[in-house]
Amino acid sequence: MDLAPHNQTAIAAAYKAAEILRARFGNISHVRKKDAVEIVTEADTEAEKEIITTIRSRFPEHSILGEESGLNDGANDFRWVIDPLDGTVNFAHQVPIFCISIALVHRDEIVLGVILNPVDGQLYTAQRGQGAHLNGQPIQVSKVKAVADSLLVTGFPYHILEIFEPVIIRYGNCLKASQAVRRLGSAALDLCYVACGRFEAFWEQGLKAWDTAAGALIAGEAGASVTTFSNEPYNLGDHEILVSNGHIHQEMLELLRL
């Protein structure tokens, strides 16, 4: 399957969205709450529209699942899964840790992933079976062999108060066993940072497809183990994910087991 045109389109869409986010960063005039804790800025909406327009101009028959606009059905087996602004809370508070995430799914298999950090310009890309890249250079997971020597990263779901106890127990287990645990506020970037060896593992629950689709492929293509907390292969639509460098995966599964 030749995905070069799809890859080029995804990268172009990401850069167009990045221009919108950079222009809006530090200049948000309206923040809307989806619910009690989840927010949407005008930048989310504008960036998603630009991504959809760019994809539609090249692939009008494809379906698109966007965080803000929902599912727009197409006429074939391709579906784009996009998060125009992963790390919205950071963005709204002028914390420069956020990104654009675009994945392409073919018959329920993630085949392409593009994640762009508009602040530092780091572009993470992967096509299934072709490895993962950062700004065009190959990347791989770290070679650390034990959790005790590992830097981990996690995230807390928007509805954390509904599942507070299991989230905190897992966090505590990993904090006690590792060098440290970070919480950056962008699942897509967390996955990329595991892919390029900055972190040894990432776990989170309560996620949506657009949070993980592109990053899961990028991490997997960089050599990561990508599963659920029960060690089942990760599938698009799963609401929990554990991604590690592989060497510490079994240890991480034990720490996450309740």
Q: Lowest-pLDDT range, 152-161, 193-202, 210-219? A: 152-161
CATH top-level class for 4-139? alpha beta
155 touches 183 (CB < 8 A) = yes
Q: Where are the beta strands (DSSP E) in the chain?
A: 31-33, 39-41, 63-66, 70-72, 78-86, 99-106, 109-116, 123-127, 132-134, 137-139, 151-154, 180-182, 201-205, 225-227, 240-244
Q: How far is CA 127 from the centre of its chain?
A: 15
The token pair at 87 is 């790390």
Indicate the class that CATH gives domain 147-256: alpha beta
pLDDT > 90 in the chain, percent: 83
| CB-based contact 136:48 (threshold 8 Å) | no
Question: Is the pLDDT assigned to residue 193 strictly greater than 80?
Answer: yes
Tell me the two tokens of residue 144.
């650390």
26-72 pLDDT tens trace: 876 666 665 444 556 788 899 999 999 999 999 999 999 998 788 87
Whole-number pLDDT of residue 38: 53
Please give the pLDDT value at position 112.
99
Tens digits of per-residue pLDDT, 68-109? 788 877 778 999 999 999 999 899 889 999 999 999 999 999
Distances (CA, A) of 147 to 41, 142, 228: 37, 12, 18
Mean pLDDT across 108-130: 98
Q: What is the average per-residue pLDDT within 187-209?
A: 98
Closest CA to 234 of 249, 248, 217, 222: 217
Helix (H) or strand (E) holding 128: none
- Rounded to whole angstroms, how far apart are CA atoms 38 and 120? 25
Give domain limits for the chain: 4-139, 147-256
Q: Residue 4: how many CB atoms within 10 A of its CB?
A: 8
Alpha helices in 141-248 (DSSP H): 164-177, 187-195, 209-221
Rounded average pLDDT over 198-206: 98
Backbone angles phi, psi at 28, to 5 degrees: -90, 125
Q: What is the mean pLDDT of the chain?
A: 94
- Round to whole Å and give the CA distance between 43 and 178: 36
